[in-house]
Chains A and B, each alone.
Chain A
Amino acid sequence: MLHIVACIKQVPDTKIIKMNPKTNTMDRRTAPAILNPYDAHAVEEAVRLREKYGGTVSVLTMGPPPAVKAIKKCIEIGADEGYLITDRRFAGADTLATSYALTKALEKISKTKPVDLVICGKMTIDGDTGQVGPGIARRLDIPPLTSVNKVVEINKREGYAVVHRKLEDGYEVVQSALPCLMSVEKTINEVPYSPFPNMLKAARYEPHIWSVDDLEDIDIKQLGLKGSPTIVSKVWAPPKPEGGTIIEGSSQQQVEHLLSVLLEKKELFQAKEGV
């Protein structure tokens, strides 16, 4: 029986978000909060591993109280339990402070139910770093396996897992001791529509909610903005490049002009055509 914990995050949908051009800040009202798309694949993989090997899937997130919604989404996908750590003292955390807070929560979770596998999405769409997963692994002193696009085997009795890690030109097959942490690629699975019973369960589900005071042996100095070595000093819209020539005229004239531009580089096409 495996205990898998998926670390997830609620994020603003950065595809829809509008920036305030005067202040260069995000206008959060314009963006709906969603479960980070990469994390949906992490939860789905955890659920599939539970189906195969038996066990429990927990999800863990840090965020403001509305992040409960992201946990409910994970319950819809098939998670069994959800944990939200929420406290103003967590706010403003960079990747280092985030991995610290999540690790403290993971330590608490594993006290009641030892964790065999921590699983994360490749990255979040609002932070775009992919640094929190490996950070958690280092803090828990378990092997980090990044870029995982297939889990071949989990053997709890023998204490190992075998995965494929995606490389730039292929993949490598890696065996790791358990427990370990995996951050998974989107290609690892497809997240199907949630079955109806899961939706019902999610609607009624209430996650465990912890504040800083509920966590043990915690060093407040390592939390939130205070515990973050990196700071954003300046946010700016990049200077607009000069822009190019806009080709005017009728469609026919535009195409002719464009063609003449392309044919100036005809050596590229001749090489390709090879006639």
Chain B
Amino acid sequence: MDFKDYKGVWVFIEEKDGEIPSVSLELLGAGRKLADKRGVELAGILIGNSIKHLTKKVFEYGADTVYVYDQPIFKHYRTESFMKALLECSNKYKPEIILFGATSTGKDLASAVATDMPTGLTADTTELDVEEDTGLLLASRPAFGGNIMATILCKKYRPQMATVRAKVMKALSPEPGRTGKVIEESVSLKEDDIRTKVLEIVKETTKKVRIDEADIIVAGGKGLGSAEGFQLVHQLADALGGAVGASRDVVEAGWIEHHHQVGQTGVTVTPKIYFAIGISGAIQHIVGMKNSSLIIAINKDSEAPIFQSCHYGIVGDAFEIVPMLIEQFQNALSRKEVSHVGKV
């Protein structure tokens, strides 16, 4: 394998209901930095059905080139069809790096493609860098259950591949009118060649709060002691009009469902206010919330690592502090709303 043949940074662009999800735009931002450092092109690879119009956005967010596979067979994501397109394209144009969002689609596709290449794949990366002269990708992620960070390298194979967490990298501000080269490709693949069929797509209509979209999150950890103790988190979230988050321990203990989990193996969040109550602050949790605008930690243990990652910390008993806070917060709000009645 001659590494000189491999050039450029690629981002797999996801498409969902005719839109590009933000994780792909964030990866274009991250990929741009890597490409600039190496002095190479940044390309997006876009696979779908009737998706050509999306190339415009890929350029505006930083790509120089977009490879497009626009065929009816790509109407739904399926591992076998998407994998074929990506493998053919990569074998033909030989990028040195391919980045995928660490979404269910991105992880599924990257795992399959890396096996067939074969090449190394780093999962759930939270930091990316590249060696300027060698093009070696430095992909870092929390390891060993999030107790420590590890930098993973793939020295002997190209392309190097990584899946990257959503909301960790920053998208560039779009540059209207920015454009580039569109390279249209296609695969010869018949429906019968694919062994899976999507029969139906069901959107869950329950009003589950999606914590990755909430402005205010109140998250609780094992320090609350029990499922009953965890109710405190719900009470504060209700009072503030926020969503409920949780540490991994709490989810594994069954106090709340998995879609509330913040962290490496849960959701990455960037709310305007993040409360961490009774959360010790393992790296696995911190990587999922550290970009929140205002982080407030309440914990009994003054040594808890969470106090290194918050803007304001209170060392104290949440069961004393939080009920007081709820009461005084509600008083303060109602003072504003009914100010003509005077102080409550």
A, B assembled together: yes
Contact residues in A for B216 (Cβ distance below 8 Å): 268, 272
Q: Judge whether A17 and B147 touch: CB under 8 Å.
A: yes
Q: Per-residue 0/1 for B147-172: is the Cβ within 8 Å of any A Cβ (1 yes, 0 no)? A: 11111111111000000000000000
A127 and B123 CA atoms in complex are apart in Å by: 9
- Interface residue B313 (Cβ < 8 Å from any Cβ of A): yes
Q: Judge whether A241 and B314 touch: CB under 8 Å.
A: no
A247 and B315 CA atoms in complex are apart in Å by: 8
A138-B112 in contact given A230-B122, A235-B150, A247-B313 (Cβ < 8 Å): yes
A137 and B149 CA atoms in complex are apart in Å by: 29
Which chain A residues (229-272) contact chain B, with CB distance < 8 Å?
Answer: 229-238, 240-247, 251-252, 254-256, 258-259, 261-263, 265-266, 268-269, 272
- Interface residue B143 (Cβ < 8 Å from any Cβ of A): yes
Q: Judge whether B116 and A255 touch: CB under 8 Å.
A: no
Contact residues in B for A272 (Cβ distance below 8 Å): 216, 240-241
Q: Per-residue 0/1 for B99-119: is the Cβ within 8 Å of any A Cβ (1 yes, 0 no)? A: 000011001101110111011
Which B-chain residue is minimally distant from A122 (CB atoms)? B265
- Interface residue B295 (Cβ < 8 Å from any Cβ of A): yes
Q: Per-residue 0/1 for A1-31: is the Cβ within 8 Å of any B Cβ (1 yes, 0 no)? A: 0000000000000110101000010100000
Q: Judge whether A234 and B151 touch: CB under 8 Å.
A: yes
Q: Judge whether B314 and A258 touch: CB under 8 Å.
A: yes
Q: Which stretch of B39-47, B183-191, B303-311 is in the interface?
A: B303-311
Number of B residues near A (Cβ < 8 Å) is: 86
- Min CB–CB distance B314 → chain A (angstroms): 5
A61 and B309 CA atoms in complex are apart in Å by: 39
Q: Judge whether A138 and B314 touch: CB under 8 Å.
A: no
Which A-chain residue is minimally distant from B283 (CB atoms)? A238
Q: Judge whether B196 and A125 touch: CB under 8 Å.
A: no
Q: Judge whether A174 and B116 touch: CB under 8 Å.
A: no
Contact residues in B for A275 (Cβ distance below 8 Å): 337
Q: Judge whether A169 and B79 touch: CB under 8 Å.
A: no
Which chain B residues (58-92) contact chain A, with CB distance < 8 Å?
Answer: 76, 79-80
Q: Judge whether A265 and B272 touch: CB under 8 Å.
A: yes
A32 and B124 CA atoms in complex are apart in Å by: 25
A173 and B202 CA atoms in complex are apart in Å by: 8
Contact residues in B for A175 (Cβ distance below 8 Å): 196-197, 199
A266 and B325 CA atoms in complex are apart in Å by: 15
Q: Per-residue 0/1 for A150-193: is the Cβ within 8 Å of any B Cβ (1 yes, 0 no)? A: 00000000000010011111111111110010000011000000
- Interface residue B18 (Cβ < 8 Å from any Cβ of A): no
A143-B200 in contact given A229-B154, A254-B314 (Cβ < 8 Å): no
A232-B152 in contact given A128-B124, A134-B112, A238-B283 (Cβ < 8 Å): yes
A sample of 30 inter-chain contacts (CB < 8 A) reads A14-B146, A17-B144, A37-B252, A94-B120, A96-B115, A96-B120, A96-B121, A99-B115, A127-B123, A128-B146, A131-B110, A138-B115, A142-B195, A147-B108, A169-B203, A171-B202, A171-B204, A172-B201, A172-B202, A173-B200, A174-B199, A231-B153, A231-B154, A233-B151, A243-B307, A245-B311, A245-B313, A251-B321, A255-B325, A265-B294
B interface, CB within 8 angstroms of A: 76, 79-80, 103-104, 107-108, 110-112, 114-116, 118-124, 138, 142-157, 195-204, 215-216, 240-241, 248-249, 252, 258, 264-265, 272-273, 283, 286, 290, 294-297, 307-316, 320-321, 324-325, 328-329, 332-333, 336-337
Knowing that A146-B107, A233-B152, A237-B149 touch, tell me 10 more A-B residue pairs with CB under 8 angstroms: A96-B121, A130-B111, A131-B121, A133-B111, A177-B196, A238-B283, A244-B307, A247-B313, A256-B328, A261-B294
A interface, CB within 8 angstroms of B: 14-15, 17, 19, 24, 26, 37, 94-96, 99, 123, 125-131, 133-135, 137-139, 142-147, 162, 165-177, 180, 186-187, 228-238, 240-247, 251-252, 254-256, 258-259, 261-263, 265-266, 268-269, 272-273, 275
